[in-house]
Amino acid sequence: MNIRVATDADWAAVLDVHRRAFRQEDEARLADELRAGDAFVPELSFVAILDGAVAGHVMNTWVGLEGSERRLLQLSPIGVLPELQGRGIGSALVRASLDGARARGEPVLLLEGNPAYYGRFGFVRADELGLLPPPEALYDWAFQAAVLDEAAELPRGRIVYPPPFSR
């Protein structure tokens, strides 16, 4: 398996991964709309290549902080082809996201997801760090943050999602 930055040529396969991983259109639509907007961070959109084909994908995009011009990175969406789940592909994509955000000097990486899965990568409840979930968040307990720079002063406040998360 190889993890690399996604290219335009990967995009049809990326959307297929999200459709198949979630058995619906929502995550594929989200990825497509995020990619078209100003929240997209191209160098933090990664694909997992297995046997020459896209097997998984993760995006990291900008979210806002209420009442501030500050932007933070959020990992979303992430997907792996159903027949390849449980083989470490998702873990490799999460680690690529953490490493990429850390390399950019970001203090924290946010996400919505299962704490039992993401906790192994250092994610904790974001509200414990003073980062409150946006109203669109499905479950406050699933809104998490990984501190990437222990020396940084973390921002505090309510996160504001870009418009594609609201649709």
Domain extents in the chain: 2-166
Stretch 50-61: mean pLDDT, rounded? Answer: 97
- State the sign of the Cα–Cα–Cα–Cα dihedral 113, 140, 64, 12: positive
Q: pLDDT tens for residues 108-120? A: 999 999 999 999 9
pTM: 0.95
Backbone angles phi, psi at 162, to 5 degrees: -70, 160
Q: Which residues contact 166 (CB under 8 A, 6 or more apart)?
A: 136
* Band (129; pLDDT cuts 50, 70, 90): very high
Q: Residue 77, preceding bond cis, omega within 30 degrees? A: yes
Residue reference for tokens 């100003």: 38
Give the CA distances from residue 60 to residues 13, 76, 78, 93, 158, in Å, rounded to whole numbers and listed in that order: 18, 6, 9, 11, 18
Nearest to 110 by CA among 57, 164, 136, 71: 71
pLDDT at 36: 95
Cα dihedral 61, 18, 96, 117 in deg (nearest 10) = 100
Per DSSP, the chain holds a count of helices (H) and strands (E) of 4, 9
Domain 2-166: homologous superfamily in CATH: Gcn5-related N-acetyltransferase (GNAT) (3.40.630.30)
**Sole residue written with tokens 């994509």:** 93
Q: How confident is the model at residue 138 (pLDDT cuts 50, 70, 90)?
A: confident
